[in-house]
Amino acid sequence: VIYQTLLDWKQSNGSDAKIGLLVKALWRCQQYDCAERLAQAQKIPE
């Protein structure tokens, strides 16, 4: 279900489907854990 939702979001937003926008939307919906995990997964290892 989560994968399909993300795929639908990416397809509907095209080149505007930026990870930062998704994290902000999740945060506004009070999905803090999901937003933090997604942001953490996108960090480049040092």
Number of H helices, E strands in the chain: 3, 0
Distance between CA 43 and CA 38 in Å, rounded?
9
pTM: 0.65
Tens digits of residue pLDDT in 1-46: 778 888 888 899 888 888 888 889 889 999 999 889 888 887 766 6
Residue-level pLDDT at 40: 87
